[in-house]
Amino acid sequence: MPISLASYAVSGCVKCPDCNGYYNPADNPGILVGDHWLANRVVCINCAKYLGYIICDGCNEAYYDNDLTDCDDRMLCDNCREVEEWYVCVGCGSCYHINDLAHGTDNDLYCDNCWRDHYFTCEDCNNTCDLDDMSGCEDRSVCNECYRYNSDYGEFDCSTFYGKSNYSDMTSKRKFGVEIETSECPNYDGVRNSGCWGAKTDGSISGKEFYSPILWGDEGLNAIRELCAFAKDNGWRVDTHCGLHAHFDMRDEDTDSMKAIALAYLLTSDIWHEFVDYSRRSNRYCHSLSIGCGDLYGITDWDSFANRNTRFTWINFNAYSVHNTFEVRLHHGSLNDYEICNWIKAHAAFMDWASSAGWTEVRNALLPMNNAEKFEFIAQVWRDAGYDNLEDYYNSKSRGQFTTCNVGV
């Protein structure tokens, strides 16, 4: 039992009904408590703390059930926090003083680390810009608009893809698109009139990013092979700053089927991460998902959900609000056509299965499994789609750590 300030009556002191000690309310105001046998009675501050109340360091009022925020080792209620100008960083969720926060392009507040993960200041126009809109110009970081004004930008748009509906190699009929980042791309302008690809500048890489229109079927994979052949002939390179982004069409999906696909990826995240270079797994452009199964289950409007999400996650649901796609951003940079085409096939088949299975079947199939069982399950999905080579290919990528368990789909 906590000890009050005095065990005997003193002029001006009040008796605490909990510990029966006396305290001077002029020095230590009594605390009105609730949700206890002492409900709606005033106790001394020591007893209030003993009962689980926390005292606001600003107004000295007591709060229960952790209704205070840690502001640099000072616990403040919401009112005092706002008066003293402490705000929560939308990136990491920690509380900082207004002097230690910066506005993003969305006018939300970010701590220094989170701000640098998403934004930069253009050295020409001094505007805050998205990190994806940064270009290198004579050893300076400038936005794309300033780069266009001051240099030969060297961009061109992709042309329309006119593929036939052949599906012997690419058995999935799901349409897709690819963004291939490079560190060096000599003679890249030759792509302008020799295929369907576009080229653009990305501030996170030293080369160009090559992006496709909407692709499908066998000829869609052949378009990737043609670009990779051109890259090999001209000595293109990638480095650890580069990534491979694959988009998968969701225009024929509804909210329920997209929830099932998202759940399937949430439950198999560890598996997909083992197929890519280690440096890519913690890359700031493809963070881990910050949602749980309960968050997904409660979604009733996918458009609203997609708009609220950041695009810098390993599987980017925000892409739906822009392109009607899910974007898989996890893969390391690559100019290997076999590697890229396998990645497209692997995800298209997995998304097709999850969409047709639905939420309940996805949950019941994957939730009880360990990682080895999940890998074998995904491998069976690939085999059922006609991609018999993918199991051995990705087993070698994961260094054989997933022991097969003969689990049927």
Q: Could you tell me which residues come within 8 angstroms of residue 79 by beta carbon, excluding any fewer than 6 positions away?
A: 58, 59
d(CA 336, CA 396): 16
Q: Which residues of the chain have pLDDT under 70?
A: 1-10, 33-40, 64-67, 135-140, 148-153, 403-409
**Closest C-alpha to 344, from 377, 384, 390, 375:** 390
Give me the pLDDT at residue 1, please. Answer: 40
Are 210 and 228 within 8 A, CB to CB? no
The whole-model pTM stands at 0.67
For residue range 1-27, list pLDDT tens digits in order.
444 445 555 677 888 877 878 887 777
The per-residue pLDDT for 80 is: 86
Interatomic CA distance for residues 290 and 250, integer angstroms: 21
Residues 6+ apart with CB under 8 A from 93: none
Helices (H), 309-370: 319-323, 337-366
Token pair of 290, please?
């910050």
Helix (H, G, I), strand (E, B) or coil at 265: helix
| DSSP track, 82-148 | HHTTEEE-TTT--EEEGGGEEE-TTS-EEEHHHHHHHEEE-TTT--EEEGGGEEEETTEEEEHHHHH
Nearest to 95 by CA among 68, 62, 57, 133: 68
- Give me the helix-helix angle, 337-366 and 390-397, nearest 10°: 90
Domains of the chain plus CATH, in order, are 14-77 (no CATH), 176-397 (3.30.590.20)
8 Å CB contact between 381 and 351: no
Among candidates 55, 53, 49, 95, which has minimal Cα distance to 77?
55
* The two structure tokens encoding residue 41: 């009675």
pLDDT of residue 10: 65
Judged by DSSP in three states, 281 sits in helix
Burial (CB < 10 A; 0-12, 13-18, 19+), residue 406, is exposed
